[in-house]
Structure 1
């Protein structure tokens, strides 16, 4: 596996573990000046500006959505938390904040897809699938939340473009995955729990790399097929995470259903549903001496 492919797989595993866990850390640098009057200052939730660590993750991934072949991977998992004003990396992933208000946030979000191995019999004689990275804006709207933010319900609207990770990178299509995201903070002894559900959409360029069969690669059990853009299935994700001192643990399960997808009749689709599971353990090795105030 090439270095670029390994990087894509690592990104896919790391982002999958963090996809639905709790809250974005919206923070500002603390002003330590004493107030002019004698009113006691409010209690502030102070956390380090940044935290760095390293661990390992295990994940079972299908070669692509609908593939009949899955593989197990054990990968290094970096732990990076940055509670900046416009750039943040936390349980919601890494993103650049473009607009932030109490109810509406616009940020730049990222995603990744793992490469396929050459041992998939369904793709025998066909080119290997490179990994890709996805980047684009995401509009996040808070629909409801508990007054102390112990739970939050968001509507998230990420629109991303994919770029392949290979020696000559190319445009890999676009995806749109609107979803409802419910975060539960500390429902039981410090655990954070998240649930996400919603449809998937992608354009023809994105689908053709996985589901199209050109005439040159057609055979009796794999007829030629032309991919289309549109509805790509439904996904539901559950995740949990907890910090134990200097140790972080996270796990997730993702269920995908392809019934009604525009590519469901492709000869490359061998399963109409798939379960992806993964976990990660990281040890926090260094933290910033600068403290910032976090809402959560």
Structure 2
């Protein structure tokens, strides 16, 4: 097996199987699916002893997933997803990545930001028919979280998340970068419902991508121009915004989550591309997890 095939296999496993590690951001062409399924904005409810691992299995259903952000064609997905959580003295591994306290600060944390975009089969998409397929994308890089209220292990918190990620296709081709600075909140409701703990969370994100990233998803080379699809050069920069919110219920070793996400690329630098058929998207769904310990 060659190096490229090994790399591709690892990335596919990350994108398909790791909840909220991948397919996380709204950037050009990505479609935030797993970040809202059960990210750790509400993980403070677990509060296991230091150094303990928690594993589980789950399933998630997502509706309204666009072929790419800007496409007027969408799909529904049913995904098996694992559950991973570790609360160490200096590092936490959870549904939203790997987090560590920075400089012994109670307010500033650094983590690994992972995101991605699902592949697009152009022959099955009317706007892209006849064009090259878009390979899946994985994005990775540092994320800095600064808590304005609460903290990383608090039930109620408000924080700013600044991240910067390198973007690569499954074929290991660099698309340069993407970034999604955001404001995130979480709150545990004071009253228990249906004998379980209930939390709500949400985030508001601004998306930015490189020229090469934008061109990959929204550019039209002269060879692919038609009477209804003019040649187009896409430029990076501002790539729209996204709001997502979730409701999470947990009792003992069971977790149920409901989520909703809205994205808007009407003011994105590439919004005039002939491949952009709609400028807003809504996706929603739910998930169920069973924890082993």
* TM-score (normalizing by structure 1): 0.80
Alignment match, 1:37: none
Q: Indicate conservation of the 8 Å contact 2:186/2:201, yes or no.
A: yes
Whether the 8 Å contact between 1:87 and 1:96 is mirrored in structure 2 is yes
The answer (yes or no) to whether the contact 1:213–1:223 under 8 Å persists in 2 is yes
Worse-superposed segment, 11-20 or 170-179: 11-20
Structure 1: stretches of 5+ with no match in the other structure: 28-44, 288-296
The 1:25–1:108 alpha-carbon spacing in structure 2 relative to 1, beyond 3 Å, is farther
Unaligned segments of structure 2, at least 5 residues = 1-7, 24-32
How far apart are residue 69 of structure 1 and its match? 1.0
- Aligned residue pairs: how many? 264
Where does residue 51 of structure 1 map in the other structure?
A: 54
CA root-mean-square deviation = 2.6
The 8 Å contact of residues 25 and 88 in structure 1, kept in 2 or not, is answered as no
Largest Rg, 1 or 2: 1
Partner residue in 2 for 1:132: 137
CA gap of 1:264–1:187, structure 2 versus 1, over 3 A, is: farther
Matching residue of 2:124: 119
How many angstroms does 1:145 deviate by?
Answer: 3.5
For 1:220, the equivalent position in structure 2 comes to 227
* 1:14 aligned residue: 34
1:67-216 maps to which residues of 2 (within 5 A)?
A: 67-91=71-95, 93-97=96-100, 99=102, 101-117=105-121, 118-145=123-150, 149-165=154-170, 168-189=171-192, 190-216=197-223
**Match for residue 28 of structure 2?**
none
Partner of 1:38: none
Corresponding residue SS for 1:73:
strand
What is the CA deviation profile of residues 34-73 of structure 1, one whole-angstrom value per residue up to 9, with x for unaligned ones?
A: xxxxxxxxxxx63771111112111131111111111111
- With a CA cutoff of 8 Å and minimum separation of 6, indicate the structure with the bigger relative contact order: 1
In 2, the alpha carbon distance for the partners of 1:104 and 1:26 equals 21
Query: Aligned in 2, Cα 1:68/1:115: closer, same or farther, shift over 3 Å?
Result: same
- d(CA) in 1 for partners of 2:50, 2:288: 21
1:20/1:195 contact within 8 Å kept: no
How far apart are the structure 1 equivalents of 2:77 and 2:179? 27
Residue 281 of structure 2 is matched in structure 1 by: 274
SS in 2 for 1:17: helix
| 2: CA distance, partners of 1:109 / 1:212 | 26
Residues 95 and 110 of structure 1 are in contact (CA less than 8 Å); yes or no, is this contact kept in structure 2?
no
In the alignment, the residues of structure 2 paired with residue 86 and residue 224 of structure 1 have an alpha-carbon distance, to the nearest angstrom, of 52
Q: Which secondary structure state, in structure 2, belongs to the residue aligned with residue 123 of structure 1?
A: coil
Equivalent in 243, 249, 253 of residue 236 of structure 1: 243
